[in-house]
Structure 1
Amino acid sequence: MSYPSLTITFLGTGTSAGVPMIACECPVCTSPDKRDNRLRSSILVQSEKTTLVVDTGPDFRYQMLRARLKHLDAIVFTHAHKDHVAGLDDVRAFNFFSQQPMQVYASDMTQEVIIREFPYAFYESKYPGVPDIQLNTIGLEPFMAGDIEVTPILVWHLKMPVLGFRFGRFTYITDANRIEEHELEKIKGSEVLVLNALRKEKHISHYSLGESIEVAKSLKIPQCYLTHLSHQMGRHADVDAELPNGVHLAYDGLVIKV
């Protein structure tokens, strides 16, 4: 199958608290290595014609400024936890310059939270300057966001359903600790897999480092990047040097092409 070329930029690779974590003096949070500074997890996906973001966490405004992004066509949401939706209000800047509503793709469950968290964006009589959002309901069927085909992948965040996404040869999964066999089939054949790995120790609702590596191995994905990392994982330079061939820690600002 022929897929369009995509450029992926990691806008954030940290967990819900970010790294450094407030008030923490651990070696990771005080590290001078810029790769140990991690905003909340999000990626930018760009084809020749379409630019979309996966998730708008609390750092969304700064991520857009840091990436110097001038235009955004769509936002695709994995789930409704605060560290993935809290920055949605800042799409109003894109609305202002494009004079178009922002196309938002989300499950019914995620849309309920978005409407509850940002009710003023959906009032019949809106205050001037509020976000202009066009909600698009997604399930598990592939859909088009501009010229990018997106295949949702159901994963489990303990008991919460979360959506991962495959974009051509690239698959992105965050906030997962279980993926059922029939959903794993959707990932096979990817050239690059991004998977969450919270820390080295086992966690109740996130893959650990070892568990993520095992998933990548079982799927025979050539390149795997780990994201949604907490300060408990350790310093980037130390951990990345210990990883098997083809597995890397992602970091904010990393750009890959697929």
Structure 2
Amino acid sequence: MTLLGTGTSQGVPVIGCDCAVCQSADPKDKRLRTAALLQVGGKNIAIDCGPDFRAQMLRTGIDRLDAILITHQHNDHIIGLDDVRPFNFRNNMDMPVYCTAPVETELKQRFAYIFESQNRYPGAPQVQIHRISKSQPFEVEGQQVIPIELMHGRMPVLGFRFGNFAYLTDVRTIAKEELAKLNGLDTLVLSALHHSEHHSHLNLEQALKLVQQLAPGRTFLTHMSHRMGLHQQVSRKLPENVALGYDGLTFTVD
């Protein structure tokens, strides 16, 4: 698993900001928009494709992408969809995209030219939508995936569990029946926006309480704003089994 991006919708540094984090020279304080890459059995599976998708794919050095899982329809998680075109051309395949019905609707509105059935623009991205929901596990390239519904404020979004690993971003609350899907984790990636109360995201304190409740073996935090603070300073204050994620962090999951 590689964390392709660990920042919020504005990224870090934020345009025009002169705070210590945005001016930091530490590469771990440079955060592209949140996304991840799971590599398993010779297959590459992306989670989300935001505005930094092209740069993230170039940085990984991969020449094939086998599927994209989309957590929800906010711009910072879908707007890079057009950049699947090189994979279409190189791999001679439509890109499988796994998403909920509301995400599919949003994609067809924002990327109408992709789904045009008549007078389709030559060279437009080629995608194949696979509808998913919170209630039904599914398989991607031989990998079993358990979807977990999270509430991003009032918006339902999906997290994903692969074996004993779970990836949860843009979460504020989780219903009891969905929490039950997260028992026995070895590794958790969990969003933690910053230190203040927020209507649609866990802050650091709330994220740590959820980690304590779920008791995974280890946790990496993601989707952090510049208001989280400097990577080195915040890291020193975290529990032993919790670490700030950073762009390019790679680890093995079971």
Match of 2:179 in 1: 184
Match of 1:150 in 2: 145
Which of 55, 61, 67 aligns to 1:68? It is 61
Distance 2:210 2:21 in 1: 26
Distance 1:165 1:66 in 2: 24
Moved more, 52-61 or 116-125: 116-125
C-alpha displacement of 1:103: 0.2
Distance 2:171 2:82 in 1: 26
Paired AA for residue 121 in structure 1: I
Match of 1:132 in 2: 126
Match of 1:58 in 2: 51
- Contact preservation (8 Å) 1:50, 1:147: no
Is 1:165–2:160 an aligned residue pair?
Answer: yes
TM-score, scaled relative to structure 2 = 0.98
Match of 1:193 in 2: 188
Which of 194, 217, 237 aligns to 1:222? It is 217
Q: What are the ranges of 5 or more consecutive residues in structure 2 without an aligned counterpart? A: none
Paired AA for residue 168 in structure 1: G
C-alpha displacement of 1:147: 1.4
- Contact preservation (8 Å) 1:19, 1:36: yes
TM-score, scaled relative to structure 1 = 0.96
Distance 2:235 2:143 in 1: 31
Q: Deviations over 1:81-119 (max 9, x none)?
A: 000001000001100001100000000000000010111
Match of 1:210 in 2: 205
- Contact preservation (8 Å) 1:49, 1:147: no
Which of 31, 34, 42 aligns to 1:38? It is 31
Which of 4, 8, 29 aligns to 1:11? It is 4
C-alpha displacement of 1:122: 0.7
Which of 73, 81, 88 aligns to 2:81? It is 88
Match of 1:122 in 2: 115
C-alpha root-mean-square deviation of aligned residues, in Å? 0.6
Paired AA for residue 167 in structure 1: F
Paired AA for residue 168 in structure 2: I
Distance 2:233 2:132 in 1: 40
Match of 1:102 in 2: 95
Distance 1:50 1:111 in 2: 24
Distance 1:190 1:147 in 2: 20
Distance 1:9 1:220 in 2: 22
- Contact preservation (8 Å) 1:157, 1:178: yes
Deviant stretches of 4+, over 2 Å: none
Distance 2:43 2:175 in 1: 31
Distance 2:194 2:55 in 1: 25
Q: What are the ranges of 5 or more consecutive residues in structure 1 without an aligned counterpart? A: 1-7
Q: Deviations over 1:51-84 (max 9, x none)?
A: 1000000000000001111100000000000000
Is 1:247–2:217 an aligned residue pair?
Answer: no
C-alpha displacement of 1:169: 1.3
C-alpha displacement of 1:49: 3.2
Match of 1:4 in 2: none
Equivalenced residue count is 251
C-alpha displacement of 1:138: 0.1
C-alpha displacement of 1:204: 0.9
Paired AA for residue 134 in structure 1: Q
Distance 1:49 1:27 in 2: 40
